A and B are shown apart, each in its own frame.
Chain A
């Protein structure tokens, strides 16, 4: 069935569950460092290893991050909430239960206007944002593929066990129609930007610090009863979010159209084929035997605490867009282009740290966009920060770099050579305004182009540019062009 036909017959209903790893210094319930990529089992202690006798103590910073995320998504913060134990056996979970929030989440009943590519927004309900702990990581050995199926044995590293997670769950999203896959992607993209603006997470999908499960069901047009849903896991990039939703819509439509029933199940997204496949079906229904975690006490955020956290919320991406559009006098179309290029927030952030808006815009939409394109990454994924761009702009403004040199500095940043000033020093990129050095270069250029020199002497000042250009080339762009011009004129006029 083609996509148009799917939409003619069915209305998709989405539910998105996003797990965010917080970038706190320590884990949720113990003082182990929360860091990615350390040697296995080196950031562990009795608590996150679930050793007999160990106990959890809640990280205040994690709770505050959870509340700030909830507030940014317009949720209410529960005046009283608890943790529960979710009981099931799995070797990557040291206690064979996960400390999570069940029926008493810290943030609930929010809503959020998801920015779409055309500049419009789609409001999604946020059912809840709750706190929980991450599991360890397993490595499957043997069986050829390194996949869990057919492995001979598994190896476990618990460095990630106990890392604080926030699970953000939407209410069922109805009404997106054909744009459901796009909306799913826009939701995750927007959430990523929002979490980054809050400074609560690294939001690296490639490293698993932002993970998305997509629930999809179809409702026949004209019906108001939700269909059976599937939950697709392992959706680990923005692109995959969109593809997984689209694939599930088409697959379920085909099943329904042929008179079949969609099976409620967990499915896995395969990045290589852009398809989903069923996970192992459970022979017993899930029974997590939730009960209140007796080793932790309830959390009862006071109104003052919530107000204090609300006051720490930075300008969020949506608010920033509205403000920037007004301040810069952008048309809707210009704004949309900047948003689509993923440049708006970066420009705004660059302006925020002192760069003139015009230059900030120019850097991000031209040179840096080209670099992102040629590397096939999103603009935001370039390894350069608004701070660094602003510094480069400041160096140009101060006459310490030419535009050519500035691009070399940016290349250096992208190559991981360090901060702008370090690169200027290391690559010897400072503008040359030493007269003796420049005078020699001017002398050479005039000698190489005697006809041009003659013209200048004859009063054709416009010809100076050719000599300046030659000097700039000869000095690798490092010469102070303004000074070169003065020297040429001084040399050629009586």
Chain B
């Protein structure tokens, strides 16, 4: 049965970019453990011969012709932005992660 620690919740929160509070760490650790224990039942149907289904409809090969379509103007693109400068979105400094 999965057990989930505060540290694991903190790790998940970091991966998901959520600055969770201390209280939330406890709350979510408890709730995630309960939920995971419940959903872990999917393991009971384990069988190597069952293929996974990612798409319910069996479509393949859906394409678009390589023909330009009008998009948004710069003004429309930036309309919802918190801050802009010179036609660009202004964001806080990016730490180098590459």
Contact = CB atoms under 8 A, between A and B. Distances in A.
A33 to B, nearest CB: 5
Given A44-B77, A280-B97, A31 B64 contact: yes
A57 B64 CA distance: 6
B65 interface: yes
B66 A297 contact: no
Given A140-B93, A149-B96, A297 B87 contact: no
A107 interface: no
Contacts of A59: 63-64, 66
B73 interface: yes
Interface stretch (B9-17, B19-27, B33-41, B42-50): B9-17
Given A49-B72, A284-B14, A284-B15, A60 B91 contact: no
A148 B94 contact: yes
Interface string B82-98: 00011111111111111
A325 interface: no
A299 B54 contact: no
Nearest to A142: B93
A41 interface: yes
Q: How large is the interface on A (under 10, 10 to 19, 20 to 34, 35 or more residues)?
A: 35 or more
A49 B77 contact: yes
Contacts, number: 143
B6 to A, nearest CB: 16
Nearest to A48: B71
Given A152-B93, A155-B89, A279-B98, A43 B15 contact: no
Given A148-B94, A284-B11, A287-B15, A44 B72 contact: yes
Contacts of A30: 69, 71
Nearest to B80: A51
B62 interface: yes
A60 B11 contact: no
Interface majority SS (helix, strand, loop, mixed), chain A: loop
Of B11, B62, B89, most buried by chain A (CB within 10 Å of CB) is B89
Interface string A207-239: 000000000000000000000000001000000
A442 to B, nearest CB: 59
Contact of B74 (A39, A142, A294, A296): A39
A157 B61 contact: no
Contact of A60 (B65, B73, B93, B94): B65
Interface residues of B, number: 39
Contacts of B11: 284
Given A61-B66, A284-B14, A153 B74 contact: no
Contacts of A292: 54-55
B62 A43 contact: no
B1 interface: no
B97 A90 contact: yes
A24 B64 CA distance: 12
Nearest to A156: B89
Nearest to B71: A45
A258 to B, nearest CB: 28
A425 to B, nearest CB: 34
A63 interface: yes
B71 to A, nearest CB: 3
A25 interface: yes
Contact of B87 (A40, A82, A90): A40
A57 B63 contact: yes
A142 B77 CA distance: 25
Nearest to B93: A151
A311 to B, nearest CB: 20
Contacts of A143: 93
Contacts of B95: 148, 280
A292 B53 CA distance: 10
A148 B62 contact: no
Give the one of A42, A142, A299 with max B CB within 10 A: A42
Given A39-B87, A156-B88, A280-B97, 14 more contacts: A32-B71, A41-B88, A49-B77, A57-B63, A59-B63, A80-B60, A140-B93, A149-B96, A156-B89, A157-B87, A282-B97, A284-B15, A298-B60, A301-B61
5 contacts: A40-B86, A42-B74, A43-B71, A158-B89, A297-B59
Nearest 4 pairs between A and B by C-beta? A31-B69, A45-B71, A61-B66, A60-B63
